[in-house]
Chain A
Amino acid sequence: MSERMKVSSNPHIRSRVTTNGIMLAVVAALMPATGFGIYNFGMRALTVVLVTIASTVLTEFLFGLYRKRTTVSDLSAVVTGLLLALNLPVTIPLWMAALGGVFAILAVKMLFGGLGQNFMNPALAARCFLLISFPTAMTAFECDAYTGATPLAALKAGEQVNVMNMITGHTAGTIGETSVIALVAGACFLLMTGVIDLRIPGSYIVTFVLFTGIFGGRGFDPAYLSAQLAGGGLMLGAFFMATDYVTRPITIRGQYVFGIFLGIMTGIFRIFGPGAEGVSYAILLGNLLVPLIERVTKPAAFGCQRGGKRA
């Protein structure tokens, strides 16, 4: 008999999908937005992206050395670094960008046990950490070398905004959030490859539209609603951050609940809050509610009633 015959428990076949493959797909899906960011904001955007990724990967690598376990190859640090960069203004001092990367990996991810164990989206947590620590640097937006308000801030101030520019992305904002077209193209790729589905983005966006329509004070005015939809990182958040596997509910019904919660919170922050923004905080808050959402949306097993009772 062959010495090479292997014995293991069933099943004996595995799908081709791997963690690496998923991470790679997310990086690929973010390329249009990254590319547009570089085109829109210039080469410094590329520098910010590279510095942030270098910072996240290096942090993970060094932590791995300390724990004697390399985890860099799963590419999750690359995804975190890239997402963080896309959430930063192009004018940010590079050391701040690097600090954000260290915070995302070390404080949010590795200290809680590494990949799969963090309870908040690392990139978003780092963005909020920077936003609180360095509010001026984090909100210094510019476009075409003019410093200026983001379209959402202008909208909130009662000014007219150019929705077409917001959709193509030719506005002020963070590196990756401005172009709806680029973000949606990437999202479509993720949807088609089955990496994400529409449960969270769909319920998030629909709820947000309804909420702003009802409470925004402008009714269901198409120009206002499309400006709200296109602005302020909603697309980046809904398709790339809220769908982060680790920090969203695993139950299917829970994902709808999560999306609806994010829609309502984003609406509250944007309409009733002091700032024009709300996506980041809404998602982070949602992340904290995940255990609770999962508990109340536990699925009924096949042939059983909800709540664990047998049918």
Chain B
Amino acid sequence: MAKFTFVGGIHPYDGKDLSKDKPIRDILPEGEVVYPLSQHIGAPARAVVAKGDRVLAGQKIAESAGFVSVPVYASVSGTVKAIEPRRVVTGDMVMSIILDNDTRYESVDFAPGAPPEEMAREEIIECIRQAGIVGMGGAGFPTHVKLSPKEPGKIDYVIVNCAECEPYLTSDYRRMLEEPEKLVGGLKILLRLFENAHGILAVEDNKPDCIELLKRLTREETGISVKALKTKYPQGAERQLIYASTGRKINSSMLPADVGCVVNNVDTVVAVYRAIVEGRPLIERIVTVTGDAVARPQNFRVRIGTSYSELIRAAGGFKGEPEKVICGGPMMGFAMFDLNVPTTKTSTALLALTKDEVSAMEPGPCINCGRCVEACPGRVIPSRLADYAERFDEEAFLENNGMECCECGCCSFICPAKRPLTQEIKSMRKLLLAKRKK
């Protein structure tokens, strides 16, 4: 049973008006293009080109190095300038292929394979894998792995995450408005993989036009329904989305497949469609460039690997000095200190703000108000977990379900004492996860 919402959550200023009415605009990179070999969760891809090679857009430049790994494709034509570590948005140095863009944008011929109706399950999955598709909502988990649960017959729901609950982000919204038939087409392909599954397009109800459009497109489809979920952050978080659309619950140690669900983001599903029907690998994505420090906020269709600084330039540069630039949304994105880093398969947005609310507010002592408890979608007690994390009290942290935190940021947002709760819990989780791996 769909619940259409979940317990907890917050309603931050959503900022979507800045860019939601701007149609997707194609932009082509001018300078060098950088492809980190690790744009996904799992083993980094292995380069199959060498310095000096000339490559075309759509040509494979790195192959997958294991089951949980995907290939990387060139998004422009040019010569391989170097294969060396480069800085990525998180600040890490990651081995990358650097392409000297010849600005001719010559492309390989994309050859669609057989129509999906004639393809076997394994063929479809292999094709998705070969196209280099990963979860494009931000996590970057290889899609073919998600689509290969132990018992595909036990999957009841294929859910497309159309919530886009992060403030400011409008890339999924534009995609749904402009290419809804590709989204529905992609979902139909995914449904072919799971014979007993029903398709759900889960949209937040602040996008009535998308809901209307998708409902109209799927009127004839008995196997697909559109669900209008309550607008609330983090409605698009996987666990909350599954609960809101099916009433089923999973915790941090379970996979969606454990409750018969497979969840994919809008852009990912469109990428599946393009891979199967058009034979195109994943070389571009939609990125929202927005924020009050951006001259002309809008949505771009970006060749993956384009530098963020080019995106800002294409959006008219900065108006006013940005105090904080974020890769992704304001709730879960990364603060950037250098714009000369490449966009990747998981880049959803570039957000530039003239004012940083975090450094403007001094954290104070916890007054035990309980707002974090009410806001926490994971139903834990963030203020206490942050205390345990601060004292590094591992036992208390685990006993109080610290590992169930999904790092959505609701507690830090809502805290009147402005304590960095999410940050503390997140650091502790990271340490414990690393310890567990050992």
Which A residues lie at the B interface, using CB under 8 A? 1-2, 4-15, 17-19, 21-22, 74, 76, 114-117, 245-246, 248, 250-252, 298-304, 308, 310-311
Q: Which of B382-438 contact A (CB under 8 A)?
A: 383-384, 399-401, 404, 407, 409, 412-418, 420, 422-423, 426
With both beta carbons as reference points, the residue of chain B lying nearest to A195 in the complex is identified as B369
Complex: A298 Cα to B402 Cα, angstroms:
13
**Is residue B1 within 8 Å, beta carbon to beta carbon, of the partner chain?**
no
Which B residues lie at the A interface, using CB under 8 A? 10, 12-13, 167, 239-240, 243, 249-254, 321-326, 330-339, 353, 356-359, 361, 364-371, 373-374, 377-381, 383-384, 399-401, 404, 407, 409, 412-418, 420, 422-423, 426
Complex: A301 Cα to B382 Cα, angstroms:
11
Cross-chain contact B359 with A304 (CB below 8 angstroms): no
20 A-B contacts, Cβ less than 8 Å apart?
A5-B323, A7-B335, A8-B335, A8-B420, A10-B412, A13-B358, A14-B413, A15-B414, A15-B416, A22-B416, A76-B367, A245-B367, A246-B367, A248-B368, A252-B373, A301-B379, A301-B401, A303-B252, A310-B254, A311-B254
**Min CB distance, A291 to chain B, in Å?**
11
Cross-chain contact B409 with A11 (CB below 8 angstroms): yes
With both beta carbons as reference points, the residue of chain A lying nearest to B233 in the complex is identified as A11
Cross-chain contact B377 with A6 (CB below 8 angstroms): no
Complex: A57 Cα to B377 Cα, angstroms:
38
Q: Which 3 A-B pairs have the closest CB atoms?
A: A11-B409, A303-B251, A301-B401
With known contacts A6-B324, A22-B416, A302-B249, A74–B364 Cβ distance under 8 A: yes
A13 interface neighbour in B12, B252, B322, B359, Cβ under 8 Å: B12
With both beta carbons as reference points, the residue of chain B lying nearest to A113 in the complex is identified as B365
**Min CB distance, B421 to chain A, in Å?**
10
In terms of DSSP, what is the predominant structure of the interface of chain A? loop
Additional A-B contacts beyond A9-B426, A15-B415, A18-B418 (20; CB < 8 A): A1-B337, A10-B330, A10-B331, A10-B335, A14-B412, A14-B415, A17-B416, A18-B416, A76-B367, A115-B365, A116-B367, A245-B368, A245-B370, A250-B370, A250-B373, A250-B383, A301-B251, A301-B379, A303-B249, A311-B251
B359 interface neighbour in A8, A17, A115, Cβ under 8 Å: A8
B381 partner residues in chain A, CB cutoff 8 A? 250-251, 298-299
Cross-chain contact B404 with A17 (CB below 8 angstroms): no
Cross-chain contact A6 with B335 (CB below 8 angstroms): yes
B370 partner residues in chain A, CB cutoff 8 A? 245, 250, 252
Complex: A1 Cα to B340 Cα, angstroms:
9
Cross-chain contact A304 with B416 (CB below 8 angstroms): no
Cross-chain contact B418 with A300 (CB below 8 angstroms): no
With known contacts A12-B353, A115-B365, A310–B413 Cβ distance under 8 A: no
Cross-chain contact B414 with A17 (CB below 8 angstroms): yes
Cross-chain contact A10 with B399 (CB below 8 angstroms): no
A250 partner residues in chain B, CB cutoff 8 A? 368, 370, 373, 381, 383-384
Residue among A13, A117, A299, A304 with the most chain B CB within 10 A?
A: A13
Cross-chain contact B380 with A301 (CB below 8 angstroms): yes
Complex: A248 Cα to B324 Cα, angstroms:
38
With known contacts A6-B335, A300-B379, A114–B251 Cβ distance under 8 A: no
Complex: A4 Cα to B318 Cα, angstroms:
14
Complex: A15 Cα to B254 Cα, angstroms:
32
A251 interface neighbour in B167, B249, B373, Cβ under 8 Å: B373
**Min CB distance, A241 to chain B, in Å?**
15
With known contacts A13-B167, A15-B414, A22-B367, A7–B336 Cβ distance under 8 A: yes
Complex: A302 Cα to B417 Cα, angstroms:
25
Cross-chain contact A12 with B367 (CB below 8 angstroms): no
